[in-house]
Amino acid sequence: MKAIIPTGGRGTRMQPLTFSTNKHFIPIANKPLIFYPIESVAEAGIKDVIITYNPGWLEIVQKHLGDGKRWGLNFTYVLQEKPLGLANIIQVCEEHIKGDRFFLHLGDNIFSEGIKELVEYFEKEKPDGLVAKIKHPENWRLGVPIFDKKGRLIDYLEKPSRPPNDYAIPGIYFFDSLIFNCFKGKDEIKPSERGEYEIVEPYKWLIKKGYRVDVLEYKGKWLDPGKFNDWIEANQVLLDRIANGEIKSKVGVGNTVQGRVSIGSGCKIKNSNMRGPSIIGDNATIVNSYVGPYSSISSDCDIQNSSLENSVLMEGVKILNVKQPIDNSLIGSGTEVTDVNGHSNCLELFVGEKSQVRL
DSSP sequence for 141-166: GSEEEEE-TTSBEEEEEES-SS-SSS
Reply yes or no on whether the pLDDT at 199 is more than 70.
Answer: yes
CATH, residue 265: 2.160.10.10
Reply yes or no on whether the pLDDT at 102 is more than 80.
Answer: yes
Residues 101 and 227 in one domain: yes
Distance CA 267, CA 270 (A): 10
* Amino acid (1-letter code) at residue 28: I
Give the pLDDT band (50/70/90) at residue 16.
Answer: low
Residues 121 and 221 in one domain: yes
Give the pLDDT band (50/70/90) at residue 207.
Answer: very high
Using one digit for the tens of pLDDT, what is the confidence trace for 48-70?
A: 999 999 998 899 999 999 999 99
Query: How many Cβ atoms from other residues are within 10 Å of residue 156's Cβ?
Result: 23
Residues 247 and 231 in one domain: no
| pLDDT at residue 225, as a whole number | 85
Residues 226 and 295 in one domain: no
Mean pLDDT of the region 68-73? 97
Reply yes or no on whether the pLDDT at 353 is more than 70.
Answer: no
b/e per residue 75-114 (b: at least 16 CB within 10 A) = bebbebeeeebbbbbbbbbeebbeeebbbbbbbbbbbbeb
Give the pLDDT band (50/70/90) at residue 351.
Answer: low
Reply yes or no on whether the pLDDT at 344 is more than 90.
Answer: no
Mean pLDDT of the region 25-52? 95
| pLDDT at residue 338, as a whole number | 85
Residues 50 and 188 in one domain: yes
Percentage of residues in the chain having pLDDT higher than 90? 79
**Integer CA distances (angstroms), 181 to 175, 177, 206, 215, in order:** 12, 8, 10, 22
| pLDDT at residue 149, as a whole number | 92
Report the relative pairing of strands 213-217 and 172-175 from DSSP bridges: unpaired
Reply yes or no on whether the pLDDT at 183 is more than 80.
Answer: yes
Which residue in 191, 209, 210, 211 sits closest to 201, CA to CA?
191
Find all residues with CB under 8 Å of 138, minimum gap 6, and list them: none
Give the pLDDT band (50/70/90) at residue 355.
Answer: low
Reply yes or no on whether the pLDDT at 290 is more than 90.
Answer: yes
Using one digit for the tens of pLDDT, what is the confidence trace for 120-166?
A: 999 999 999 999 999 999 999 999 999 999 999 999 999 999 999 99
* Continuous segment of H or E residues that includes residue 111: strand 110-111
| pLDDT at residue 22, as a whole number | 75
Mean pLDDT of the region 300-306? 96
Residues 213 and 248 in one domain: no
| pLDDT at residue 227, as a whole number | 79
Residues spanned by the domain of 205? 2-238
Residues 81 and 230 in one domain: yes
| pLDDT at residue 13, as a whole number | 62
Residues 162 and 26 in one domain: yes
Mean pLDDT of the region 245-272? 95
Mean pLDDT of the region 235-243? 93
CB distance 182 to 188 below 8 Å: yes
Whether the ω angle into residue 277 lies within 30 degrees of 0, i.e. cis, is yes
Q: Which of 188, 204, 238 is the last residue before a domain boundary?
A: 238
Q: pTM value?
A: 0.90
The overall average pLDDT reported for the chain is 92
Residues 180 and 222 in one domain: yes
Phi-psi region of 357 (alpha: psi -120 to 50; beta: other; left: phi over 0): beta
Query: 95-100: which pairs have CB atoms within 8 A and are 24 or more residues apart?
Result: 96/2, 96/50, 97/2, 97/50, 97/177, 97/180, 99/177, 100/1, 100/2, 100/177
| pLDDT at residue 269, as a whole number | 97
Q: Which of 179, 214, 238 is the last residue before a domain boundary?
A: 238
| pLDDT at residue 51, as a whole number | 98
Q: Which of 219, 238, 257 is the last residue before a domain boundary?
A: 238
Mean pLDDT of the region 191-202? 94
What total number of domains does the chain contain? 2
* Continuous segment of H or E residues that includes residue 217: strand 213-217
Residues 42 and 77 in one domain: yes
Count of helix runs (H) and strand runs (E) in the chain: 7, 31
Percentage of residues in the chain having pLDDT higher than 70? 91
DSSP 186: T
| pLDDT at residue 348, as a whole number | 63
b/e per residue 181-208 (b: at least 16 CB within 10 A) = ebbeeeeebeeeeeebbbbbbbbbbbbe
Residues 220 and 304 in one domain: no
Which residue in 8, 30, 11, 28 sits closest to 20, CA to CA?
11
Phi/psi of residue 305, nearest 5 degrees? 50, 45
